Amino acid sequence: MTRRLKIAAAGAAGAAIIAAGAVPALAGEGTKDRPAAAQEHAAVRGQLISARYLGTRSADEVRAWLATEGFDASSVRYGVDSYRLLYRTVDARGRTTVASGLFVLPRNGERRLRTVSYTHGTTSYIADAPSMAQNVWGPGPAVTYGAAGFAAAAPDYLGLGEGPGVHPWKDVPTETSASLDMLRAARQFTLGEHRSLDGRVFVTGFSQGASSALGLARALQDGADPHFRLRAVAPISGGYDFRGAELPALLDGKLDPKMSVAYVSYLLTSWNRIHGGVYEKPSDLFKAPYADRVEKYFDGTTPGPVMLQGLPGTLDDLLTPRGFELLRHPSGTFAKALQVDGEVCTAWTPRVPLRLYKITNDDQAVTANTGHCAAAFRARGVDAPVVDVGDEVYGGSRHLGSNIAGTALAVRWFAGLR
């Protein structure tokens, strides 16, 4: 669910939706733009449209850069080259659109590379996506995997980065298609660099991206692309069970109240935009004065700190009685969307190594989400070990800290698998 946050708004201690202070851009950023070799008239999913060189870091520079935000640098072996890829994909209605993402290649001389797909946590502002963010939080995990020797693909998702439209938050189908098509574009780009992706894909993601990772893993296992084969899966601190775990925790006040307001607002406005039928007008679910501004806050143009300042501090101040009723007793379109969202843990049977990373007392994605997901996999005969990442705290948030700790554990696990 969340991205990088240092919360100054309303005294909150950590938020997934606010980008941190900028750090220096990569050396040489923006100095080498190259058009894709493919013909642009062929609207093929995953077709590479353009690749923008973002710069290079040596291994020592990567270590120092990661350390500024507390990311573990012990797995760094190589320098990296980073790119923003723009590629063709499909939107929530199956129509052709474009999306962007960050692609990181190790400077290790290897011609054939294993690939990690990392799907990021929640952001509501287009410029905070991994390929755009001028901080460590956004691109940090992808750079970590790249510096360990993997090709690392981190899709921005629809409507973030350089993609048009509004981001369909918590929509696993489009997060899956954007992730799969990012892999295809990355493969095409890598061939143009006289290297190749060997087909093995290690899949991970954080918070919102944990569900996205399971969606991609399911698609790869089902043979969505003949070149790519799923090797292992390691999602981190996901909100896998919104109906059975996350919404009850939000309503009971067990999670950070300000972030609960942000997530509920994002969920209701996004799913009404995608599916329709959640509400006819914002005032059905949101109290004044928030009903007049809530959709604007999540259209991708409002920076996270501005959004958080503009929303109230509690759900009591945000929601109408009808809004509370919908969350307590989901029905109609909203209930159907919750069911689809939860199928990342209930509707398939992984046949590759799988670990679920979690942190106890998670303040944003209640830890019960991970327990429910593991239980669902066990019911299908799948051993899904739950790994506690420890007590990492970032920006006052255990949830955000789990991304840093989980990335350190996942990169070491992936590196040991063949």
What residues have CB less than 8 Å from 289, skipping those under 6 apart?
A: none
* Domain spanning 9-241+339-416: CATH superfamily: Alpha/Beta hydrolase fold, catalytic domain (3.40.50.1820)
Query: Whose CA is closest to 152, among 96, 92, 98, 76?
Result: 76
Ramachandran angles phi, psi of 326, nearest 5°? -65, -40
Q: Specify the pairing of strand 386-388 against strand 196-206.
A: unpaired
Distances in Å between the Cα of 31 and the Cα atoms of 26, 101, 115 are 11, 18, 26
Report the residue count for the chain.
Answer: 418
| 160 class by beta-carbon count within 10 Å (0-12 exposed, 13-18 middle, 19+ buried) | buried
Q: Specify the pairing of strand 196-206 against strand 112-119.
A: parallel
| Tens-level pLDDT at each residue, the chain (418 residues) | 443 232 223 333 333 443 333 333 343 444 344 444 433 334 699 999 999 999 999 999 999 999 999 999 999 999 999 999 999 999 999 999 999 999 999 999 999 999 999 999 999 999 999 999 999 999 999 999 999 999 999 999 999 999 999 999 999 999 999 999 999 999 999 999 999 999 999 999 999 999 999 999 999 999 999 999 999 999 999 999 999 999 999 999 999 999 999 999 999 999 999 999 999 999 999 999 999 999 999 999 999 999 999 999 999 999 999 999 999 999 999 999 999 999 999 999 999 999 999 999 999 999 999 999 999 999 999 999 999 999 999 999 999 999 999 999 999 999 999 8
H or E segment at 49? strand 48-57
Query: Whose CA is closest to 245, among 318, 346, 174, 175?
Result: 346
Domain ranges of the chain: 9-241+339-416
DSSP-based three-state secondary structure for 349: coil
Query: Whose CA is closest to 237, among 373, 70, 376, 417?
Result: 373
